Amino acid sequence: MYLLCRVLVVLALLQLAYSSCLAQLPQANWPTNGWRMATPESQGIDSGLIADAINTARQQGINIHSLLVVRNNYIVAEAYFFPYDGKAPHDLASVTKSITSTLIGLAIEAKKIKSVEQKALSFFSKNKIVNKDSRKEKITLEHLLTMSSGLNCISKGGEPTLWEMLNQPNNVQHMLDLPMVAEPGSNFVYCSGGMHLLSAIITQATGMKAEDFAKRLLFEPIGIKQAIWPVDPQIINHGFGNLHLLPRDMARIGVLMMNQGTWDNHRVINSEWVANATRSHIKTGNPRDYGFGWWVNPTGNQIPFEASGRGGQQISVIPSKNTVIVFNGGGFNTGEVMKQLLPAIKSDGPLPANPTAEAKLKEAIANAGKANTPTAISPLPAMAKAISGKTFVLQPNWTGLQALTLNFPTTGDPTARFSFIENGNMNRMEKVREVRPIGLDGVLRLSPNGRYGLSVGLRGKWEDEQTFVLEYDEIANLNSYTFRLTFTEKTVSIQAKERTGLFDEKFEGKLEEAK
C-alpha cells in the first residue's frame, strides 16, 4: 500500500512537471500573434497535388478568391486569386451563422443566457409581437440555432423572407411578427432571419453588440484583430451574414473548433458546446445535416463539419488529419476543388522533401495572383460615341442604380469610365455618386472605396453594335454584377444579374432631359 502511494505521488509530480513544461514551451506554433509557414511535405502533404488544384481552378476560370490549407497549426499552402489579394477582410456570407452560433455558446458559458432551452420571446418582453400563439411562445434558442423555429420563413427562390426583413425599418420586429406555420422543432427550413434574432438575443443578453462581444471573448483570444460586421437600423449585427474576416482569421476559427474550443492551452469555448454545435441535430433533406449553425456531414465523411456561405465561403474542419481548409470565392463550387485537395493529405508524418513539387506550388501561387493577359481592343461602335458622356435615368431596380453615364475614350486608351448614382439596396443605404474606371482590354480596373471602403474591379466590352456588357466585381464584398446594356441614342435596356444568384432582373432607362 505504501509503495502504491509513493507511485501515485511520483505520477502526480510527473504530471505537474509535464504541465509546467507545456506552459513553458514556445507558443509560436499557435497562431495567436501570427502564423508559421511550413512546406506541405514537412506536414505530410503533397505540394504537387495542391499546385494542380490551384492551376486547374485558374485555367478553368473558377471564381475562387482564396485557398488556405492549415495542418498541425502551420499554413502549408496559401493562394490568392486576382483580383483578391488576401489583405482585406472578405465577406463570409452564411459562414457568419457559425460565428453567431458560437457566440450563443459563449453567452451561455458567461451566464448571460441560461441555456439553448430558454424561450426566444423571453428576450423581447418589451416588444409588441403580433401573430403570437402557443407555438410561437414555444420557440427556443435551440430551434433558432437548428433552423426549426416553425416561423413562416421562406428560403426557396432566393430567400424572399430575408429580403423582406432587410427592407423593413425594424428587422428584428419583422421576424418576431411572422406567423407560425409549423410546430417548433418539427422540420428544417433554412431561415437567415432566425439567425438575426439570435444576434439580437446576444445584444439583449450581454448589453453589447454581437461584434463587441465577439471581440472580447472570441476574436481577441485567438488573435483576430480585423473584422467588418454590418448592422441593421437598430444597430444589431447581421447574425445571418455579411461578417468580413481575413482568410487567415477564418482558419483560426477552424483551428479553434478542431481543438474542441481550446487555444494555446486556454479554453476559449466549452468543449461540450463545440461537440454539440457540430453534431447532427436535424435532417435537412440534403446530404448534409445541420447542427447549431454548422453543417454536419454523414458519418464516414472525411470532413465531419464545416461552415459554408454563398459564393464559395467555407471553413472545412478535418480533426482526423489535424487539418483546416479555407475557401473564399465570388461564386464557385468548393466541392470540385476539394476533390483535388483531399488526396494531397498523404501521411500523418513528414513526406520526403520534394523541391520540384514545392517549386511547382510556388509558381502556381504566384500565377494565381496575376491579372489575366490583356486582349486587343476592337474598334468602338458608333453607338459608343453617340452615348458617351450622356446620362440615362433608370427605373427602380434591385441594385439601387438611379442613373448611369459611360465615357468612352476617343483614342486607343483601354480604359473607359462608369459614373452612376446609387440609392442603396440592402448593402448600402446612403445615396452615393461614383466614377470608376472600366478595363476595355479584358482586365479588371481596380478602384478603392467601394462598400465598407473595399476595392471594386470593372471591365467591359461591346458585344455588338448596341450592347455593352459591364462586369462590376465587388471582390472582397463577394457580389459580382453583370449589366448587359442595350442602347439606342435615347434609351437603355438593362439585363442585370448577380453571379452567385442574388438577383436577375430587367429594367429600362431613358436619356436625361436637358436642364
pLDDT at 161 over 80: yes
Question: 197 and 277, same structural domain?
Answer: yes
Q: Is 64 left (phi over 0), alpha (psi -120 to 50) or beta?
A: beta
In a domain, 495, yes or no: yes
The secondary structure of 137-206 as a DSSP string is HH-BHHHHHTT---B----TTT-HHHHHHHTSS-HHHHHHHPPB-S-TTS-----HHHHHHHHHHHHHHH
pLDDT at 335 over 60: yes
pLDDT band with cut points at 50, 70 and 90 for residue 496: very high
Question: 159 and 126, same structural domain?
Answer: yes
Question: 462 and 313, same structural domain?
Answer: no
Whether pTM > 0.85 for this model: the answer is yes
How far apart CA 133 and CA 307 sit, in angstroms, is 33
- The number of distinct structural domains making up the chain is 2
Q: According to the model, what pLDDT value does residue 16 have?
A: 38
* For the chain, percent of residues with pLDDT exceeding 70: 92
CATH code, domain carrying 166: 3.40.710.10
Q: According to the model, what pLDDT value does residue 231 have?
A: 98
Distance, C-alpha 77 to centroid of its chain: 20
Q: According to the model, what pLDDT value does residue 515 have?
A: 66
**Mean pLDDT of all residues in 41-61:** 97
Q: According to the model, what pLDDT value does residue 431 have?
A: 58
Q: Which of 167, 239, 237 is nearest to 426 (CA)?
A: 167
Question: 395 and 358, same structural domain?
Answer: no
The pLDDT mean for the chain works out to 93
Domain that residue 303 falls in: 36-368
In a domain, 23, yes or no: no
The answer for residues whose C-beta is within 8 angstroms of residue 345's C-beta and 6 or more apart is: 44, 45, 71, 318, 321, 323
**Sign of the torsion angle spanned by Cα atoms 218, 221, 223, 228:** positive
The answer for residues whose C-beta is within 8 angstroms of residue 9's C-beta and 6 or more apart is: none
Residue where a domain stops, chosen among 323, 345, 368: 368
How far apart CA 209 and CA 81 sit, in angstroms, is 33
Question: 427 and 314, same structural domain?
Answer: no
In a domain, 13, yes or no: no
Q: According to the model, what pLDDT value does residue 5 have?
A: 42
pLDDT band with cut points at 50, 70 and 90 for residue 28: very low
Q: According to the model, what pLDDT value does residue 513 have?
A: 85
**Mean pLDDT of all residues in 93-111:** 99
Question: 364 and 224, same structural domain?
Answer: yes
In a domain, 28, yes or no: no
Q: C-alpha grid cell for residue 230?
A: 454590418
Question: 177 and 89, same structural domain?
Answer: yes
Residue where a domain stops, chosen among 310, 344, 368: 368
Q: According to the model, what pLDDT value does residue 128 have?
A: 97
Question: 455 and 392, same structural domain?
Answer: yes
Alpha helices in 230-323 (DSSP H): 247-258, 271-277
Question: 389 and 352, same structural domain?
Answer: no
Q: According to the model, what pLDDT value does residue 1 have?
A: 43
In a domain, 29, yes or no: no
Question: 388 and 309, same structural domain?
Answer: no
Question: 459 and 432, same structural domain?
Answer: yes
**Mean pLDDT of all residues in 483-512:** 96
Question: 449 and 360, same structural domain?
Answer: no
Instruction: Kindly give the pairing relationship between strand 36-37 and strand 74-80.
Output: parallel
Q: According to the model, what pLDDT value does residue 410 have?
A: 87
Residue where a domain stops, chosen among 305, 337, 368: 368
Residues forming beta bridges with residue 508, ordered by sequence position: 493
Strands (E), 240-378: 244-245, 262-263, 266-267, 289-290, 295-296, 305-309, 313-318, 323-329
In a domain, 305, yes or no: yes
The number of residues in the chain equals 515
SS3 at position 279: coil
Give the Cβ contact number of residue 253 at 10 Å. Answer: 24
pLDDT in tens, 217-274: 999 999 999 999 999 999 999 999 999 999 999 999 999 999 999 999 999 999 999 9
Q: According to the model, what pLDDT value does residue 425 have?
A: 52
Q: Which residue has the higher pLDDT, 29 or 139?
A: 139
Q: According to the model, what pLDDT value does residue 172 have?
A: 99
Helix (H) or strand (E) holding 58, with range, is helix 47-59
How far apart CA 483 and CA 505 sit, in angstroms, is 10
pLDDT in tens, 416-443: 999 998 875 534 445 568 899 999 999 9
pLDDT in tens, 362-411: 999 999 999 999 999 989 999 999 999 999 999 999 889 999 999 999 88
Q: According to the model, what pLDDT value does residue 433 have?
A: 82
CATH code, domain carrying 430: 2.40.128.20
**Mean pLDDT of all residues in 166-184:** 98
pLDDT at 330 over 90: yes
In a domain, 377, yes or no: no
